[in-house]
Amino acid sequence: MLITLIDRDRNWYLSTQGYDVKQSPREESFCAHAILGDDLLVVPDATLDPRFFDNPSVVADPGVRFYAGATITGPRGMKLGTLCVFDDKPRELSAEDAGSLQDLAGMVEGEIASLTLAVTDELTGLSNRRGFELSAGTLLEVCRRRELMAALVYFDLDDFKEINDSYGHDEGDAALVQFAQHLAATFRNSDIIARYGGDEFLVFLADTGDPTVALNRLEAILTSRNAHPMNRYPMAVSIGSAVFRGDGADTLDSLLNRADHAMYEVKRRHHDQDSAG
């Protein structure tokens, strides 16, 4: 029995019994076919199935003949992978076994949903503090091993208390959601974006030491947003960043502290400018 996750190119085996392979190309994967439909995929004899008879896992080791896979769906309806079983002998799947396989897949979905809730900010849908620390901490170690540069960017919305005081907490929540959407539109899918708490947001970018291009894109988005006559208040942000050089001793905490300090220096300047104005 295998629990698999499928990305654009690979089929990843997260949990295996009786199978030592950790990944395979997506184009060779039975599971990639299984997630195309909503029902259980059952292949009684792969040598007789036009989709699989020449598959490398059929004609060579492990000599798959029988396959059954139930789709695992994430909390937002995205198909993530499968819970599947296979054998080197042809067989049929009984109705009872099919139900058991689907029940087990449902249990895996429940575990994924619980974990997702634990690491997701309920308001914005971004990672929360715990999710960021888990994901960014892991990615930082990957960058360290591969001697890749990385950047951590710290955002703090300016005058957020005034938005709450002037327009109410519902409008304050709407501002947080809108800014989260602007961050998602600005940064890469591979970047880790989080609401760190209150009106503070973080982005961790791997394999780059310069977030300038992305920050310029965010500035253009905010400028366009603030020019729209329907918006009752401007949205401004103080930003600080810290760079990991790829071979340094930085920890996630030290990067956070440096980016936080840089952000507060910017916020202090903003305050001084507003006071002078």
- The catalytic site residues sit at 199
d(CA 234, CA 103): 50
Question: Taking the mean position of all CA atoms in its chain, how far away is CA 195?
Answer: 13
Residue 201, strand partner residues: 155, 195
d(CA 29, CA 6): 9
* Helices and strands of the chain, counted as H and E runs: 8, 10
Phi, psi of 269 (to 5 degrees): -65, -40
The contacts of residue 215 (CB under 8 Å, 6+ apart) are 153, 186, 239
Tokens of 135: 């994901």
Cβ atoms 232, 167 nearer than 8 A: yes
The contacts of residue 15 (CB under 8 Å, 6+ apart) are 1, 2, 3
Q: What does each C-alpha distance from 168 to 54, 195, 255 come to in angstroms?
A: 63, 20, 34
Beta strand 200-206 with 10-16: parallel, antiparallel or unpaired?
A: unpaired
The contacts of residue 270 (CB under 8 Å, 6+ apart) are 158, 236, 238
Residue among 258, 119, 135 nearest 206 (CA) = 135
The residue type found at 248 is G
- The CB-side HSE value for 198 (13 A sphere, CA atoms) comes to 11
Tokens of 108: 């895996």
